[in-house]
Amino acid sequence: METLVKKNRKQQIEETATNLFRERGYAATSMRDLAQVLGIEAASLYSHIKSKEEILQKICFRMADEFFEAWKGVESENSSFAAKMKKAAIAHVTVITKDTAASAVFFNEWRHLSEPFLSEFLTMRNDYEGRFIQIIEEGINSGEFETVDTHFTMLTILSSLNWTHNWYKPQGSLTPDEVGTRLSELILNGLKK
């Protein structure tokens, strides 16, 4: 029973910290702020977590794992590179919209990771971005896509997808699939011959 209470408290701490990091930024959020919002003493936080950065690490690496897990569905797509890009956009948006607060922290606060976590995070990000570049390159090589600057195109695609956490509302009129589909169609209309 004690483990369950501790786990629930850890989850509560992470969720509260995620919202504070999103609202105030990681650097502007103190352990005292976190404790105050939770209604506990700052010293008692340390019985649940080691540091503020530990929470940031959990958020960033959990989100990265979710993006890679979602990518497994992209790998199974083999009808066309446009279909693969569409599936990648939908998978990406689905992860973002599942928890927009954690997504905001993931996209905006990762710079505060210390080594070796920062290098590990950047390696994972480069791997993930490389997967989008690969779809673009293969689409170009097959003649399905126009010849474009693949790195610039990848950055443009991910920038448009990553911005979703700023405006997506779960109670809105569009589902994550619809958002991903619409964004991918806008993107692909610029790639298709």
Tell me the domain boundaries of the chain.
52-190
pTM: 0.90
The answer to whether 136 touches 155, Cβ cutoff 8 Å, is: no
Low-confidence ranges of the chain (pLDDT < 70): 1-7, 190-193
The answer to whether 93 touches 66, Cβ cutoff 8 Å, is: no
Residue 41 φ then ψ, to 5°: -75, 145
- CATH number for 52-190: choose from 3.40.50.720, 3.20.20.120, 1.10.357.10, 3.20.20.150: 1.10.357.10
Q: Check residue 186 and give its pLDDT.
A: 86
**Tokens 């540091």 map to which residue?**
51
Q: Check residue 188 and give its pLDDT.
A: 83
Q: Check residue 190 and give its pLDDT.
A: 64
- Number of Cβ within 10 Å of residue 2's Cβ equals 6
